[in-house]
Amino acid sequence: MRVGRIGYINCYPVYAAIDRGAVRMPAELVTGTPAELNDLLVAGQLDVSVISAIEYARHAKDLVLLPGLAISCDGPVRSVALFSRVPVSGLDQATILVTASSRTSIALLDLLCRDVWHVRPQFVQARAEASDLDALAALPHDAVLVIGDPALLLAARGLYPHHIDLGDAWKRWTGLPFVFAVWAARRQASAVAVRAVHAALLEARTWGLAHLDALALAAAAATGVPAQECRSYFGGLDYAFSEAHLAGLTEFLRRLAAKGMVPDGSLQFLQVA
């Protein structure tokens, strides 16, 4: 079995126990960006992986969701943000840079622009990695969408007068949590092996949530973001997949399906018993 994991610190609470030997993972771990893992899982080069919510929806016929596990927020998320030189009302026909690693976030931003802010900007693929903040800043743009650890670092720099947290914007719009990523398995993968991986991930999450202070110190060492801010960041994330999260994800996918951005279909979960 090959299992994908994002290298950003937002996955520390799920994978740190495995990295530290506190929980045994009965599979090989493969680290990548969200976009890389999306593509590997869809291509069948991973058996199980965290995957962007929108990419799960686009490939649901080949995938099954793992219950009880997601990366979500119920308000500000901090690591998915639009940094703008103008107010959102001034973004009509403006240029927004996006990176290849932010597919769900791009779709969410597109919905917010159309249906909340009533602007139609031009999304331009950045010719720089999200981690290279100086290179991004040098490109011509009015705003930039940044996710993951780079978003935390860019917020600390204070280079843009307008900083819009997309998790907070969704909550204000719908009143629901937002699910950025889920864990899914290939339908062809061994159900027994997938259940073992699922059990290990849940056990690791339990360990991680009980050791957030230690994980915040490790995150600070890895990113340069102060440990107190990392701890606060972890506290704003949710790794569960409750009925409220399901409602938020269903609403997001319903809105995307209405615009033809994803197929219209129901969510299907792994049977764990």
pLDDT of residue 54: 93
255 closest CA partner among 23, 99, 54, 103:
54
pLDDT in tens, the chain (273 residues): 999 999 899 999 999 999 999 999 999 999 998 889 999 999 999 999 999 999 999 999 999 999 999 999 999 999 999 999 999 999 999 999 998 767 899 999 999 999 999 999 999 988 777 678 888 888 899 999 998 888 999 998 888 999 999 999 999 999 999 999 999 999 999 999 999 999 999 999 999 999 999 999 999 999 999 999 999 999 999 999 999 999 999 999 999 999 999 998 778 898 875
Report pLDDT for 86. 96
Residue type, 259: K
Report residue 178: phi and psi, to 5°.
Answer: -120, 130
Residue carrying structure tokens 């790794």: 239
Domain residue spans of the chain: 2-74+177-258, 80-174
Cα end-to-end span (Å), the chain = 20
- Give pLDDT, residue 130: 66
What 3-state DSSP class applies to 28? strand
Are the folds of 2-74+177-258 and 80-174 the same? yes
Write the Ramachandran bin of 175: left for phi over 0, alpha for psi from -120 to 50, otherwise beta.
Answer: left
Q: How far is CA 125 from the centre of its chain?
A: 18
Is residue 32 within 8 Å of 208, Cβ to Cβ? no
Alpha-carbon distance of 184 to 3, in angstroms, equals 10
Q: Report CA 89 to chain centroid distance, whole Å.
A: 26
Structural fold of domain 2-74+177-258: D-Maltodextrin-Binding Protein; domain 2 (3.40.190)
pLDDT of residue 127: 79
Q: What single letter denotes the amino acid at residue 15?
A: Y
Please state the φ and ψ torsions of residue 181, each to the nearest 5 degrees.
Answer: -145, 155
CA 14 to the chain's CA centroid: 13
Long-range contacts of 207-212 (CB under 8 A, 24+ apart): 207/16, 207/17, 207/22, 207/23, 208/12, 208/13, 208/14, 208/15, 208/16, 208/17, 208/239, 209/13, 209/239, 211/16, 211/17, 212/13
* Six token digits for residue 116: 């909340």
* Nearest alpha-carbon partner for 34 in 24, 46, 22, 25: 46
Q: Which CATH architecture has domain 80-174?
A: 3-Layer(aba) Sandwich (3.40)
DSSP 3-state of 90: helix
93: left (phi over 0), alpha (psi -120 to 50) or beta: left
pLDDT at 273: 59
